[in-house]
Amino acid sequence: MTEQSVTVGVAMSERSSAPAAVLPMRATPGPVPDDPGWAFEFAWDGVRSLAEVGSEYVRLVGRSTRSVTSSYPELAVLPALTRRPVLLDGKIVALDACGRPSLSRLQCRMNLQRPSAVVLARVPVVYYVFDLLRLDDRCTLQLPYLRRRELLEELGLTGGPLVLSPYFLDIDGQAMLDTAAQYGLPGVVAKRADSPYQPGRRSRSWVQTALRRTQEVVIGGWVPGKRGPAGALGSLLVGLPTEAGLRYAGQVCLGFTDAARRELPDRLTGLARHTSPFADQLPPETVRNAQWVAPTMLGEVSYQRWTRRGRLAQPSWIGLRRGKHPAAVQSPVVLAPALPGVPADPAQVQVDQGELAQALALARAEVREQRIQISPHFLYNALSAISVLVRTDPLRARELLMEFAGFTRYCFRSDTRFTTLADEMENIERYLALEQARLEERLAVTIQVAPQVLAVVLPFLVLQSVVESAVYGIEEIPGGGTVAISAVDAGADCLITVAADGPDSPAQADLRGVDDRLRSAFGDGYGLAVDAIPGGGTTVSLRVPTLHPAPS
């Protein structure tokens, strides 16, 4: 069957004995269940979608039954992979270099009706399947979860852009959540083994536990509550300090105790002012009832992620931070508001160059204000390359600013002693994307990291230093070269190699410092070795223990 023979956009009611407007079943947020009878899946960052697949057609439907088929044309091959008429539930994801679903990578594909060939090549997608709602002409909604998963496995759904999401039985839910944290996944979904599929319902038979991060914020205002005692707190308006002033980061409505809702307004009354302290414009519905305050009081919130608009997603109040000045808040570099409207194609995007220039200036200011732990040579060269693209290719400049934001957040984090290979590789991928934008065809990259070693512990930025050294060497070669990164399980050890073209190792003195850090952390049995072949390139090998907690 050829791609041209696939019929796109066929209505469910015309092809299926299942309900015409099936909505995905939804999970209830909550802690990980600890009683028996549950199966566990990892949560994936992506676009939830039902896939109706026939012998010569496929239709992808989002949460609101809106067709998203044309947005993901690479999934038109599903009929050839399933080989039977099915109705599947899953998530459309984009993978990072370590093979993990990455929402930031997928964002440039979301809502594009007709993605261009450039976008399809740059950000391919994969469909992670985790449920079966119809098989042939048989509706499976009332079958128990475990039986539906058994039927899915019997279909042998592997290959191409189709992945069968794993599930786990007889395992501690907290252990699953800890594993999700180690691998950089957003959380865990627990599903009752005997539960039917309930279309459109948020059921307690499915429980989703999300991993959350924390952020210090500056309080810039508050909104009185609509319920409860008069004058009680409804929400806080919070921001982050930048060179341009206090940038709005979101409205915090959750996490307050009854006592906090009564007491915080009394504390804030003494800081009242008539105008907004935020440098940017807030949503009109937020400003309408806002009580502004001087931005001198700090708090801490937990949140799920940063949105494309540079706002905190699902922030929840933790408490006040006393005895700390607002200027000391670590403000991540976040490219602020996404462009209004949804472009039909990236080539048609009209990017506001003034917005990009402002974001670029903010990034430069962040670099100046932070203690630089990595090469200033790279940081300023990367910003210079982006500044050129602001004029010549604004869309690409915007993408690279997002990469730069993630890179600097990681490098300037407060915990700088140890990290995991997964987190280090994710940041190295950002670094290499920025260097490839600058060096273009002169820098080629290959990455092969075994999934079982992603949780390996490393001293912070040691692998980054080795990769940066390799790229620096290639930069000196007129014709450029290739950096090849690999990590494999070598029994009790993990062997990480960084190979680069070039006549000699460019920075052996710097690499001796890396070796010292590895030996100090893990003992003399571990460390770094350099194999330089004159005129034939250099391979740097790092040997670290596979199972080793972050040293105290």
Paired sense of beta strands 316-321 and 493-500, if any = unpaired
Q: Which residue has the tokens 């210079």?
A: 384
Phi, psi of 364, deg, nearest 5: -65, -40
Question: Which candidate, 84, 30, 22, 74, places its Cα nearest to that of 48?
Answer: 22
What are the strands, taking DSSP E only, across 55-97? Answer: 57-61, 86-93
**Could you tell me where the beta strands, DSSP code E, fall in 438-536?**
443-449, 457-459, 481-490, 493-500, 527-533
Return left, alpha or beta for 411; rule: phi > 0 is left, psi -120 to 50 is alpha, else beta: alpha
Q: Which residues of 423-443 are buried (b: 16+ CB within 10 A; e: fewer)?
A: bbbbbbbbbbbbbbbbbeeeb
* Helix (H/G/I), strand (E/B), else coil: 447: strand
- pLDDT, residue 119, reads 83
Looking up tokens 């992945």 gives 163
8 Å CB contact between 246 and 297: no
What CATH number belongs to 213-328? Answer: 2.40.50.140
Element (H, E) at 521: helix 508-522
Structure-token match 């997608």, residue found: 125
- How much is the mean pLDDT over the chain? 79
Q: Which amino acid is at 372?
A: I
DSSP state, residue 325: -
For domain 3-210, the CATH class is: alpha beta
Q: How far apart are the first and last CA of the chain?
A: 58
User: Do 142 and 105 form a contact (C-beta atoms < 8 A)?
Assistant: no
- Pairing label, strands 26-29, 202-210: parallel
Structure tokens at 487: 């990590």
Burial of 332 (0-12, 13-18, 19+ CB in 10 A): middle
What local confidence, expressed as pLDDT, does residue 548 receive? 63
> How far is residue 55's CA from residue 104's CA, in Å, rounded to a whole number?
33
Whole-structure pTM value: 0.48
Tokens describing residue 283:
């949503």
How confident is the model at residue 473, as a pLDDT?
80
- Token pair of 123 as six digits: 């950000």
> Would you list the domain boundaries of the chain?
3-210, 213-328, 332-340+348-414, 443-552
- Say how far apart CA 203 and CA 335 lie, in whole Å: 36
Instruction: Please give the chain's pLDDT, 552 residues, in tens.
Output: 333 333 333 333 333 333 345 789 999 988 899 889 999 999 998 999 999 998 888 999 887 677 888 889 999 999 988 889 999 999 999 887 666 777 777 877 887 888 888 888 888 999 999 999 999 989 999 999 999 999 999 988 878 889 888 899 888 888 888 788 767 688 899 999 999 999 988 889 999 998 877 889 999 999 998 776 777 899 999 998 877 788 899 999 988 988 889 899 999 998 999 999 998 888 888 888 899 999 999 999 988 767 656 788 778 899 998 877 777 776 654 333 332 222 223 233 333 445 555 555 555 554 444 444 556 667 777 777 787 777 777 777 777 888 888 887 787 776 667 888 888 988 898 889 888 888 887 888 888 888 778 888 898 888 988 998 888 888 777 778 889 999 998 888 899 999 988 654 444 445 777 888 888 888 888 888 888 766 667 889 999 998 765 554
- The CATH number of the structural domain formed by 443-552 is 3.30.565.10
**What is d(CA 231, CA 254) in angstroms, rounded to the nearest whole number?**
17
User: How far apart are the C-alpha atoms of 184 and 32, rounded to whole Å?
Assistant: 18
Can you tell me the distance from the alpha carbon of 407 to that of 427, in angstroms, rounded to the nearest whole number?
6
Give the position of tokens 């796109």. 8
For residues 349-376, one letter each, b for 16 or more C-beta atoms within 10 angstroms of the residue's C-beta and e for the rest, the string is eebeeebbeebbebbbebbeeeeeebbe
Tokens representing 258?
Answer: 């009854």
